[in-house]
Chain A
Amino acid sequence: MTMPKTSAEIQNLLEEMAETIREELADKDPLLVGIHTGGVWVAKALQNILGEDFFDAPLGTLNIAYYRDDFTRIGMHPQVSPSDLPFEVDNRHLVLVDDIFYSGRTTRAALNEIFDYGRPASVTLAVLIERNGRELPIRPDIVGASVILPRNQHLKLRNKDGLQLEIRAAGALNAE
Protein backbone atom coordinates (compact mmCIF):
# COMPACT_ATOMS: atom_id res chain seq x y z
CA MET A 1 0.00 0.00 0.00
CA THR A 2 1.23 3.50 -0.69
CA MET A 3 2.14 5.63 2.26
CA PRO A 4 -0.74 7.67 3.64
CA LYS A 5 0.64 11.05 4.57
CA THR A 6 -1.94 13.78 4.66
CA SER A 7 -4.35 14.29 7.51
CA ALA A 8 -7.29 13.49 5.21
CA GLU A 9 -5.79 10.11 4.30
CA ILE A 10 -5.07 9.41 7.96
CA GLN A 11 -8.61 10.39 8.93
CA ASN A 12 -9.94 7.74 6.50
CA LEU A 13 -7.73 5.09 8.08
CA LEU A 14 -8.88 6.12 11.55
CA GLU A 15 -12.52 5.81 10.54
CA GLU A 16 -11.97 2.31 9.19
CA MET A 17 -10.16 1.33 12.40
CA ALA A 18 -12.97 2.78 14.50
CA GLU A 19 -15.50 0.80 12.50
CA THR A 20 -13.60 -2.44 13.15
CA ILE A 21 -13.36 -1.65 16.86
CA ARG A 22 -17.11 -1.04 16.92
CA GLU A 23 -17.84 -4.34 15.17
CA GLU A 24 -15.54 -6.42 17.32
CA LEU A 25 -15.85 -4.87 20.76
CA ALA A 26 -19.12 -2.92 21.04
CA ASP A 27 -20.72 -5.53 23.29
CA LYS A 28 -17.71 -5.89 25.59
CA ASP A 29 -17.61 -2.52 27.39
CA PRO A 30 -14.05 -1.97 26.18
CA LEU A 31 -11.51 0.41 27.70
CA LEU A 32 -9.09 2.47 25.64
CA VAL A 33 -5.36 2.80 26.34
CA GLY A 34 -2.91 4.86 24.27
CA ILE A 35 0.88 4.54 24.34
CA HIS A 36 2.73 7.86 24.71
CA THR A 37 3.05 9.93 22.64
CA GLY A 38 1.77 9.03 19.18
CA GLY A 39 -0.50 6.25 20.43
CA VAL A 40 -2.31 8.72 22.66
CA TRP A 41 -3.00 10.97 19.67
CA VAL A 42 -4.37 8.05 17.67
CA ALA A 43 -6.44 6.86 20.64
CA LYS A 44 -7.95 10.33 21.08
CA ALA A 45 -8.81 10.45 17.38
CA LEU A 46 -10.51 7.05 17.62
CA GLN A 47 -12.40 8.20 20.70
CA ASN A 48 -13.62 11.27 18.78
CA ILE A 49 -14.96 9.11 15.97
CA LEU A 50 -16.55 6.48 18.21
CA GLY A 51 -18.08 9.06 20.58
CA GLU A 52 -17.39 9.74 24.24
CA ASP A 53 -19.79 7.04 25.42
CA PHE A 54 -18.37 4.16 23.41
CA PHE A 55 -15.64 3.49 25.95
CA ASP A 56 -16.54 2.86 29.54
CA ALA A 57 -14.02 5.27 31.10
CA PRO A 58 -11.69 8.13 30.17
CA LEU A 59 -8.69 7.34 27.98
CA GLY A 60 -5.84 5.58 29.76
CA THR A 61 -2.27 6.47 28.85
CA LEU A 62 0.91 4.43 29.14
CA ASN A 63 4.46 5.70 29.31
CA ILE A 64 6.49 2.59 28.75
CA ALA A 65 9.85 4.28 29.41
CA TYR A 66 10.46 2.20 32.53
CA TYR A 67 9.60 -1.06 30.78
CA ARG A 68 11.86 -0.75 27.76
CA ASP A 69 14.52 -3.35 27.08
CA ASP A 70 17.28 -0.92 26.14
CA PHE A 71 18.11 0.73 29.49
CA THR A 72 21.49 -0.97 29.72
CA ARG A 73 22.26 0.17 26.17
CA ILE A 74 21.01 3.73 26.04
CA GLY A 75 19.92 4.70 29.53
CA MET A 76 16.95 6.88 30.39
CA HIS A 77 14.57 8.12 27.76
CA PRO A 78 13.44 11.71 27.67
CA GLN A 79 10.62 12.46 30.03
CA VAL A 80 7.05 12.20 28.91
CA SER A 81 3.88 12.25 30.97
CA PRO A 82 3.55 9.37 33.43
CA SER A 83 1.27 6.42 32.91
CA ASP A 84 -2.30 6.96 33.98
CA LEU A 85 -4.92 4.24 33.83
CA PRO A 86 -8.00 5.84 35.42
CA PHE A 87 -9.81 2.50 35.77
CA GLU A 88 -9.37 -1.06 37.05
CA VAL A 89 -8.08 -3.33 34.29
CA ASP A 90 -8.99 -6.63 35.98
CA ASN A 91 -11.31 -8.72 33.78
CA ARG A 92 -11.79 -5.87 31.30
CA HIS A 93 -11.35 -5.84 27.53
CA LEU A 94 -8.66 -3.33 26.58
CA VAL A 95 -7.96 -1.69 23.24
CA LEU A 96 -4.25 -0.84 23.25
CA VAL A 97 -3.38 1.83 20.70
CA ASP A 98 -0.04 2.81 19.18
CA ASP A 99 0.84 4.93 16.19
CA ILE A 100 3.43 2.80 14.39
CA PHE A 101 4.03 -0.89 14.86
CA TYR A 102 7.61 -1.79 13.99
CA SER A 103 9.76 -4.21 16.01
CA GLY A 104 7.03 -5.12 18.51
CA ARG A 105 9.23 -4.12 21.44
CA THR A 106 7.05 -1.20 22.48
CA THR A 107 4.02 -3.49 22.56
CA ARG A 108 5.93 -6.02 24.64
CA ALA A 109 6.81 -3.28 27.15
CA ALA A 110 3.24 -1.95 27.19
CA LEU A 111 1.79 -5.41 27.85
CA ASN A 112 4.19 -5.91 30.74
CA GLU A 113 3.18 -2.58 32.21
CA ILE A 114 -0.55 -3.30 31.82
CA PHE A 115 -0.12 -6.54 33.74
CA ASP A 116 1.42 -4.58 36.63
CA TYR A 117 -1.96 -2.86 36.95
CA GLY A 118 -3.97 -6.07 36.91
CA ARG A 119 -5.19 -8.93 34.73
CA PRO A 120 -7.30 -7.83 31.78
CA ALA A 121 -9.76 -10.23 30.11
CA SER A 122 -8.24 -9.41 26.71
CA VAL A 123 -6.01 -6.90 24.96
CA THR A 124 -6.65 -5.91 21.34
CA LEU A 125 -3.77 -4.09 19.66
CA ALA A 126 -4.78 -1.34 17.24
CA VAL A 127 -2.14 0.59 15.28
CA LEU A 128 -2.37 3.28 12.66
CA ILE A 129 0.55 1.96 10.61
CA GLU A 130 2.17 -1.46 10.59
CA ARG A 131 5.56 -1.49 8.92
CA ASN A 132 7.98 -4.31 8.15
CA GLY A 133 10.69 -5.16 10.67
CA ARG A 134 8.98 -7.26 13.32
CA GLU A 135 11.43 -8.75 15.85
CA LEU A 136 9.04 -10.46 18.27
CA PRO A 137 6.11 -12.86 17.92
CA ILE A 138 3.61 -10.03 18.41
CA ARG A 139 1.34 -8.57 15.74
CA PRO A 140 -1.41 -5.99 15.72
CA ASP A 141 -5.09 -7.00 15.50
CA ILE A 142 -6.45 -3.84 13.95
CA VAL A 143 -4.31 -1.98 11.40
CA GLY A 144 -4.95 1.30 9.59
CA ALA A 145 -2.41 0.60 6.84
CA SER A 146 0.52 -1.75 6.26
CA VAL A 147 3.56 -0.31 4.52
CA ILE A 148 6.95 -1.59 3.49
CA LEU A 149 9.89 0.69 4.04
CA PRO A 150 13.63 0.21 3.54
CA ARG A 151 15.35 -0.66 6.79
CA ASN A 152 17.17 2.66 6.89
CA GLN A 153 13.98 4.70 6.85
CA HIS A 154 11.95 5.61 9.89
CA LEU A 155 8.36 6.66 10.15
CA LYS A 156 7.20 9.31 12.59
CA LEU A 157 3.72 10.56 13.39
CA ARG A 158 3.46 14.30 13.89
CA ASN A 159 0.61 16.20 15.44
CA LYS A 160 0.76 19.63 13.88
CA ASP A 161 -2.30 20.85 12.00
CA GLY A 162 -3.76 17.37 12.37
CA LEU A 163 -1.99 14.01 12.31
CA GLN A 164 0.65 13.59 9.60
CA LEU A 165 3.26 11.00 8.78
CA GLU A 166 6.87 11.78 8.03
CA ILE A 167 9.60 9.53 6.64
CA ARG A 168 13.09 10.15 7.95
CA ALA A 169 16.46 8.61 7.26
CA ALA A 170 17.77 6.39 10.06
CA GLY A 171 19.86 8.19 12.61
CA ALA A 172 17.66 11.23 12.44
CA LEU A 173 15.49 9.84 15.22
CA ASN A 174 15.35 6.85 17.53
CA ALA A 175 13.66 3.68 16.37
CA GLU A 176 9.90 3.79 16.95
Chain B
Amino acid sequence: MPSNQLTESGQLRHFLTIEGLKRPLLTEIMDRAEQFSGISHRQVKKVPLLRGKTIINLFFENSTRTRSTFELAAKRLSADVMNFNINTSATSKGESLLDTLHNLEAMHTDMFVVRHNQSGAAEFIAQHVAPHVSVINAGDGCHAHPTQAMLDMFTIRRHKQDFANLRVAIIGDILHSRVARSQIQALATLGVGEIRVIGPQTLLPRESQTLGVHVYHDMESGLEGVDVVITLRLQLERMQGALLPSAREYFRCYGLTEEKLKYAKPDAIVMHPGPINRGVEIASSVADGPQSVILEQVTHGIAIRMAVMSMALASQSEQAEIEE
Protein backbone atom coordinates (compact mmCIF):
# COMPACT_ATOMS: atom_id res chain seq x y z
CA MET B 1 0.00 0.00 0.00
CA PRO B 2 1.59 3.25 -1.08
CA SER B 3 2.09 5.21 1.99
CA ASN B 4 2.88 8.45 3.59
CA GLN B 5 5.78 9.13 1.24
CA LEU B 6 4.52 12.58 0.28
CA THR B 7 4.05 15.66 2.44
CA GLU B 8 0.73 17.45 2.50
CA SER B 9 2.00 19.80 -0.20
CA GLY B 10 2.94 16.84 -2.42
CA GLN B 11 6.70 16.96 -1.83
CA LEU B 12 8.76 13.84 -1.37
CA ARG B 13 9.13 13.07 2.35
CA HIS B 14 10.22 9.46 1.95
CA PHE B 15 10.96 7.61 -1.28
CA LEU B 16 9.54 4.11 -0.88
CA THR B 17 7.91 3.20 -4.16
CA ILE B 18 7.12 4.63 -7.59
CA GLU B 19 3.52 3.52 -7.13
CA GLY B 20 1.19 6.45 -6.63
CA LEU B 21 3.68 9.13 -7.71
CA LYS B 22 2.63 11.50 -10.47
CA ARG B 23 4.51 12.25 -13.65
CA PRO B 24 5.62 15.82 -12.67
CA LEU B 25 7.37 14.48 -9.58
CA LEU B 26 9.22 11.80 -11.57
CA THR B 27 10.20 14.47 -14.08
CA GLU B 28 11.42 16.74 -11.29
CA ILE B 29 13.62 13.94 -9.92
CA MET B 30 15.18 13.51 -13.37
CA ASP B 31 15.58 17.27 -13.90
CA ARG B 32 17.30 17.68 -10.54
CA ALA B 33 19.52 14.71 -11.33
CA GLU B 34 20.45 16.38 -14.61
CA GLN B 35 21.66 19.40 -12.64
CA PHE B 36 23.57 17.27 -10.14
CA SER B 37 25.28 15.17 -12.80
CA GLY B 38 27.54 18.09 -13.75
CA ILE B 39 29.06 18.16 -10.27
CA SER B 40 30.88 14.88 -10.89
CA HIS B 41 32.96 16.56 -13.61
CA ARG B 42 34.24 19.40 -11.46
CA GLN B 43 37.52 19.78 -9.68
CA VAL B 44 35.77 19.59 -6.31
CA LYS B 45 33.12 16.93 -6.81
CA LYS B 46 30.70 18.12 -4.17
CA VAL B 47 28.27 20.85 -3.18
CA PRO B 48 27.49 21.92 0.39
CA LEU B 49 23.72 21.41 0.11
CA LEU B 50 23.34 18.75 2.82
CA ARG B 51 26.24 19.85 4.97
CA GLY B 52 25.64 18.82 8.56
CA LYS B 53 23.01 16.20 7.72
CA THR B 54 23.55 12.62 8.87
CA ILE B 55 22.56 9.77 6.59
CA ILE B 56 22.74 6.12 7.55
CA ASN B 57 22.88 3.35 4.97
CA LEU B 58 21.01 0.53 6.63
CA PHE B 59 21.66 -2.56 4.55
CA PHE B 60 20.14 -5.82 5.71
CA GLU B 61 21.04 -7.41 2.38
CA ASN B 62 24.24 -7.37 0.34
CA SER B 63 24.83 -4.71 -2.24
CA THR B 64 27.84 -3.18 -3.92
CA ARG B 65 26.59 -0.75 -6.53
CA THR B 66 23.54 0.55 -4.76
CA ARG B 67 25.21 1.05 -1.41
CA SER B 68 28.31 2.68 -2.84
CA THR B 69 26.37 5.03 -5.14
CA PHE B 70 24.11 6.04 -2.25
CA GLU B 71 27.21 6.68 -0.20
CA LEU B 72 28.87 8.72 -2.94
CA ALA B 73 25.66 10.64 -3.58
CA ALA B 74 25.46 11.60 0.10
CA LYS B 75 29.12 12.60 0.13
CA ARG B 76 28.78 14.73 -3.01
CA LEU B 77 26.03 16.61 -1.20
CA SER B 78 28.39 17.04 1.80
CA ALA B 79 26.27 14.94 4.16
CA ASP B 80 27.91 12.69 6.74
CA VAL B 81 27.19 9.11 5.87
CA MET B 82 27.60 5.94 7.82
CA ASN B 83 27.20 2.37 6.56
CA PHE B 84 25.51 -0.33 8.55
CA ASN B 85 25.57 -3.85 7.18
CA ILE B 86 23.35 -5.99 9.25
CA ASN B 87 23.03 -9.69 8.90
CA THR B 88 19.39 -10.44 9.49
CA SER B 89 19.74 -14.17 9.84
CA ALA B 90 20.99 -13.85 13.40
CA THR B 91 18.26 -11.54 14.58
CA SER B 92 14.57 -11.99 14.95
CA LYS B 93 12.97 -9.30 12.82
CA GLY B 94 10.10 -7.25 14.30
CA GLU B 95 11.21 -5.80 17.57
CA SER B 96 14.93 -5.98 17.05
CA LEU B 97 14.61 -4.02 13.81
CA LEU B 98 12.79 -1.27 15.64
CA ASP B 99 15.33 -1.36 18.43
CA THR B 100 18.14 -0.91 15.94
CA LEU B 101 16.22 1.90 14.35
CA HIS B 102 15.54 3.79 17.55
CA ASN B 103 19.16 3.47 18.58
CA LEU B 104 20.32 4.94 15.31
CA GLU B 105 17.69 7.64 15.54
CA ALA B 106 19.03 8.57 18.95
CA MET B 107 22.24 9.53 17.14
CA HIS B 108 20.33 12.36 15.45
CA THR B 109 20.08 10.77 12.06
CA ASP B 110 18.26 12.71 9.34
CA MET B 111 17.82 9.94 6.80
CA PHE B 112 17.87 6.17 6.53
CA VAL B 113 18.63 4.44 3.26
CA VAL B 114 17.20 0.97 3.69
CA ARG B 115 17.68 -2.31 1.88
CA HIS B 116 15.96 -5.39 3.19
CA ASN B 117 15.05 -8.81 1.82
CA GLN B 118 11.48 -8.47 3.07
CA SER B 119 8.89 -6.62 1.03
CA GLY B 120 7.53 -3.66 2.93
CA ALA B 121 10.57 -3.23 5.21
CA ALA B 122 11.30 0.36 4.14
CA GLU B 123 7.66 1.26 4.50
CA PHE B 124 7.58 -0.31 7.97
CA ILE B 125 10.60 1.73 9.01
CA ALA B 126 9.08 4.89 7.52
CA GLN B 127 6.01 4.38 9.66
CA HIS B 128 8.11 4.21 12.82
CA VAL B 129 10.73 6.90 12.38
CA ALA B 130 10.56 10.26 14.09
CA PRO B 131 8.80 13.01 12.11
CA HIS B 132 12.05 14.71 11.12
CA VAL B 133 13.59 11.58 9.58
CA SER B 134 13.30 10.52 5.92
CA VAL B 135 13.52 6.98 4.60
CA ILE B 136 14.71 5.99 1.13
CA ASN B 137 13.99 2.50 -0.11
CA ALA B 138 17.10 0.93 -1.63
CA GLY B 139 15.27 -2.30 -2.43
CA ASP B 140 12.80 -4.33 -0.37
CA GLY B 141 12.20 -7.97 -1.15
CA CYS B 142 10.32 -8.48 -4.40
CA HIS B 143 8.46 -5.21 -3.88
CA ALA B 144 10.24 -2.09 -5.09
CA HIS B 145 13.55 -0.49 -5.95
CA PRO B 146 12.49 3.03 -6.86
CA THR B 147 15.89 4.74 -7.21
CA GLN B 148 17.00 1.99 -9.61
CA ALA B 149 13.87 2.58 -11.69
CA MET B 150 14.49 6.33 -11.73
CA LEU B 151 18.11 6.01 -12.80
CA ASP B 152 16.91 3.72 -15.58
CA MET B 153 14.31 6.29 -16.66
CA PHE B 154 17.02 8.96 -16.55
CA THR B 155 19.29 6.80 -18.73
CA ILE B 156 16.46 6.23 -21.22
CA ARG B 157 15.69 9.96 -21.31
CA ARG B 158 19.34 10.75 -22.03
CA HIS B 159 19.21 8.54 -25.14
CA LYS B 160 15.61 8.78 -26.29
CA GLN B 161 13.90 12.12 -25.96
CA ASP B 162 10.24 11.33 -25.91
CA PHE B 163 8.84 8.58 -23.69
CA ALA B 164 5.49 8.53 -25.50
CA ASN B 165 6.84 7.00 -28.70
CA LEU B 166 9.00 4.37 -27.07
CA ARG B 167 8.66 0.63 -27.06
CA VAL B 168 10.45 -0.88 -24.05
CA ALA B 169 11.01 -4.60 -23.40
CA ILE B 170 12.01 -6.08 -20.05
CA ILE B 171 13.43 -9.61 -20.25
CA GLY B 172 13.69 -12.19 -17.52
CA ASP B 173 12.47 -12.90 -14.04
CA ILE B 174 9.79 -10.26 -13.76
CA LEU B 175 7.97 -12.21 -11.07
CA HIS B 176 10.68 -11.89 -8.41
CA SER B 177 12.14 -8.59 -9.57
CA ARG B 178 11.59 -5.46 -7.51
CA VAL B 179 13.53 -3.63 -10.23
CA ALA B 180 11.07 -4.69 -12.93
CA ARG B 181 8.07 -3.81 -10.80
CA SER B 182 9.35 -0.30 -10.17
CA GLN B 183 10.45 0.10 -13.79
CA ILE B 184 7.02 -0.85 -15.11
CA GLN B 185 5.34 1.64 -12.77
CA ALA B 186 7.75 4.39 -13.78
CA LEU B 187 7.48 3.66 -17.50
CA ALA B 188 3.70 3.66 -17.28
CA THR B 189 3.63 6.90 -15.27
CA LEU B 190 5.91 8.58 -17.79
CA GLY B 191 3.54 7.55 -20.57
CA VAL B 192 5.73 5.10 -22.47
CA GLY B 193 3.95 3.95 -25.60
CA GLU B 194 4.37 0.21 -25.16
CA ILE B 195 5.80 -1.86 -22.32
CA ARG B 196 6.62 -5.49 -22.98
CA VAL B 197 7.81 -8.26 -20.74
CA ILE B 198 9.56 -11.31 -22.14
CA GLY B 199 10.23 -14.54 -20.28
CA PRO B 200 9.08 -18.03 -19.50
CA GLN B 201 5.58 -18.41 -18.09
CA THR B 202 6.99 -19.40 -14.70
CA LEU B 203 8.82 -16.08 -14.26
CA LEU B 204 6.10 -13.69 -15.38
CA PRO B 205 3.52 -12.46 -12.90
CA ARG B 206 0.00 -13.69 -13.61
CA GLU B 207 -1.35 -10.16 -13.43
CA SER B 208 1.00 -8.92 -16.19
CA GLN B 209 -1.85 -7.99 -18.50
CA THR B 210 -3.55 -5.98 -15.83
CA LEU B 211 -0.35 -3.99 -15.31
CA GLY B 212 -0.87 -2.77 -18.86
CA VAL B 213 2.09 -4.63 -20.26
CA HIS B 214 2.27 -6.92 -23.26
CA VAL B 215 3.51 -10.43 -22.55
CA TYR B 216 5.82 -12.40 -24.84
CA HIS B 217 7.35 -15.79 -24.38
CA ASP B 218 9.84 -15.63 -27.24
CA MET B 219 12.58 -13.13 -27.97
CA GLU B 220 12.00 -12.77 -31.70
CA SER B 221 8.49 -11.36 -31.47
CA GLY B 222 9.10 -9.70 -28.10
CA LEU B 223 12.07 -7.66 -29.27
CA GLU B 224 10.70 -6.67 -32.65
CA GLY B 225 10.85 -2.91 -33.15
CA VAL B 226 11.90 -2.23 -29.56
CA ASP B 227 13.81 0.99 -28.63
CA VAL B 228 14.99 -0.05 -25.17
CA VAL B 229 15.97 -3.58 -24.08
CA ILE B 230 16.22 -4.14 -20.34
CA THR B 231 17.70 -7.44 -19.22
CA LEU B 232 17.32 -8.53 -15.61
CA ARG B 233 19.68 -10.52 -13.50
CA LEU B 234 18.63 -14.15 -13.32
CA GLN B 235 18.77 -14.94 -9.66
CA LEU B 236 20.43 -18.30 -9.72
CA GLU B 237 18.68 -19.40 -6.55
CA ARG B 238 15.45 -19.48 -8.61
CA MET B 239 16.83 -22.49 -10.36
CA GLN B 240 16.39 -24.50 -7.19
CA GLY B 241 12.70 -23.69 -7.07
CA ALA B 242 12.20 -25.69 -10.28
CA LEU B 243 11.09 -22.57 -12.09
CA LEU B 244 13.81 -23.05 -14.68
CA PRO B 245 15.51 -26.09 -16.17
CA SER B 246 19.08 -24.76 -16.23
CA ALA B 247 21.14 -21.62 -16.78
CA ARG B 248 22.29 -22.92 -20.15
CA GLU B 249 18.73 -23.59 -21.25
CA TYR B 250 17.72 -20.11 -20.10
CA PHE B 251 20.53 -18.52 -22.06
CA ARG B 252 19.52 -20.41 -25.19
CA CYS B 253 15.94 -19.11 -24.97
CA TYR B 254 16.20 -15.73 -23.26
CA GLY B 255 19.88 -14.80 -23.11
CA LEU B 256 20.46 -11.54 -24.99
CA THR B 257 22.92 -12.32 -27.77
CA GLU B 258 23.97 -10.20 -30.74
CA GLU B 259 21.73 -12.31 -32.97
CA LYS B 260 18.65 -11.79 -30.82
CA LEU B 261 19.40 -8.10 -30.34
CA LYS B 262 19.04 -7.68 -34.11
CA TYR B 263 15.27 -8.13 -33.71
CA ALA B 264 15.18 -4.78 -31.90
CA LYS B 265 15.61 -1.41 -33.62
CA PRO B 266 19.18 -0.79 -34.82
CA ASP B 267 19.57 2.12 -32.39
CA ALA B 268 18.06 0.26 -29.42
CA ILE B 269 19.90 0.65 -26.12
CA VAL B 270 20.64 -2.30 -23.84
CA MET B 271 20.29 -1.91 -20.09
CA HIS B 272 20.89 -4.11 -17.05
CA PRO B 273 20.61 -3.18 -13.37
CA GLY B 274 23.63 -5.32 -12.46
CA PRO B 275 25.28 -7.41 -11.30
CA ILE B 276 25.32 -9.24 -14.62
CA ASN B 277 25.63 -12.98 -15.10
CA ARG B 278 27.60 -13.14 -18.32
CA GLY B 279 26.44 -15.98 -20.48
CA VAL B 280 23.20 -16.42 -18.52
CA GLU B 281 20.90 -13.47 -19.23
CA ILE B 282 23.28 -11.55 -21.47
CA ALA B 283 26.22 -12.39 -23.72
CA SER B 284 29.49 -10.63 -22.98
CA SER B 285 29.60 -9.26 -26.52
CA VAL B 286 26.28 -7.46 -25.89
CA ALA B 287 27.05 -6.33 -22.35
CA ASP B 288 30.30 -4.76 -23.60
CA GLY B 289 28.96 -3.86 -27.04
CA PRO B 290 28.18 -0.50 -28.64
CA GLN B 291 24.48 -0.55 -27.71
CA SER B 292 25.12 -1.24 -24.03
CA VAL B 293 24.56 1.64 -21.58
CA ILE B 294 25.08 -0.52 -18.49
CA LEU B 295 27.96 1.48 -17.06
CA GLU B 296 26.17 4.75 -17.76
CA GLN B 297 23.36 3.45 -15.57
CA VAL B 298 25.84 3.15 -12.70
CA THR B 299 27.06 6.72 -13.22
CA HIS B 300 23.50 8.05 -13.37
CA GLY B 301 22.71 6.27 -10.12
CA ILE B 302 24.75 8.84 -8.23
CA ALA B 303 22.91 11.86 -9.67
CA ILE B 304 19.47 10.27 -9.21
CA ARG B 305 20.25 9.43 -5.59
CA MET B 306 21.52 12.97 -4.99
CA ALA B 307 18.24 14.29 -6.36
CA VAL B 308 16.05 12.03 -4.24
CA MET B 309 18.04 12.59 -1.04
CA SER B 310 18.05 16.36 -1.39
CA MET B 311 14.37 16.54 -2.28
CA ALA B 312 13.36 14.42 0.72
CA LEU B 313 15.47 16.42 3.16
CA ALA B 314 14.27 19.69 1.61
CA SER B 315 10.67 18.74 2.34
CA GLN B 316 11.72 18.21 5.97
CA SER B 317 12.98 21.79 6.03
CA GLU B 318 9.71 23.05 4.63
CA GLN B 319 7.86 21.08 7.24
CA ALA B 320 9.96 22.58 10.03
CA GLU B 321 9.28 26.06 8.67
CA ILE B 322 5.52 25.46 8.76
CA GLU B 323 5.65 24.16 12.33
CA GLU B 324 7.57 27.24 13.50
Contacts and interface: CB of A to CB of B under 8 A. Distances in A.
A118 B38 CA distance: 15
Contacts of B42: 116-117
Contact of B38 (A67, A74, A82): A82
A80 to B, nearest CB: 9
Nearest to A115: B44
Contact of B321 (A66, A73, A83, A118): A73
B91 interface: no
Interface string B13-48: 000000000000000100110110010001110111
B317 interface: yes
A79 B48 CA distance: 17
A63 B314 contact: no
A76 B314 contact: yes
Interface in A35-74: 63, 66-67, 71-74
B314 A75 contact: yes
Nearest to A89: B43
Contacts of A67: 47-49
Contact of B48 (A63, A82, A112): A112
Contacts of A72: 52, 317, 320
Contacts of B313: 75
On chain A, which size bracket covers the interface? 10 to 19
Nearest to A90: B43
Given A75-B317, A76-B311, A83 B48 contact: no
A72 B51 CA distance: 10
A82 B307 CA distance: 13
Contacts of A76: 32, 310-311, 314
Interface in B269-324: 310-311, 313-318, 320-321
Nearest to A63: B35
A105 to B, nearest CB: 13
Given A66-B47, A116-B44, A117-B44, A71 B317 contact: yes
Contact of A74 (B11, B50, B310, B318): B318
A112 B42 CA distance: 14
A84 interface: yes
Given A63-B35, A76-B311, A84-B38, A116 B43 contact: yes
Given A79-B35, A82-B38, A116-B42, A74 B311 contact: no
A113 B50 CA distance: 15
Given A67-B47, A116-B44, A82 B315 contact: no
Contacts of B316: 75
B318 A116 contact: no
Size bin of chain B's contact surface? 20 to 34
Contact of B49 (A66, A115, A118): A66
B72 to A, nearest CB: 16
A75 B310 CA distance: 9
B199 to A, nearest CB: 38
Nearest to B50: A71
B180 to A, nearest CB: 30
Given A116-B43, A117-B42, A117-B44, A74 B317 contact: yes
Interface in B215-263: none
B34 to A, nearest CB: 7
Most chain-B Cβ atoms within 10 A of its Cβ — which of A67, A79, A83, A116?
A116
Contacts of B35: 63, 79, 82
Interface string B66-78: 0000000000010
A116 B317 contact: no
Interface centre among A63, A79, A112, A115 (most CB of B within 10 A): A79
Given A67-B49, A75-B313, A116-B46, 11 more contacts: A66-B47, A66-B49, A71-B317, A72-B317, A74-B318, A79-B31, A79-B35, A113-B47, A116-B43, A116-B47, A117-B43
Ranked nearest first, the 9 interchain pairs of A and B with the lowest CB-CB distance are A75-B314, A66-B47, A76-B314, A116-B44, A75-B317, A82-B35, A66-B49, A75-B318, A82-B38
21 contacts: A63-B35, A66-B49, A67-B47, A71-B49, A71-B50, A71-B317, A73-B321, A74-B317, A74-B318, A75-B314, A75-B315, A75-B316, A75-B317, A76-B310, A79-B28, A79-B32, A79-B35, A82-B35, A84-B38, A112-B48, A116-B47
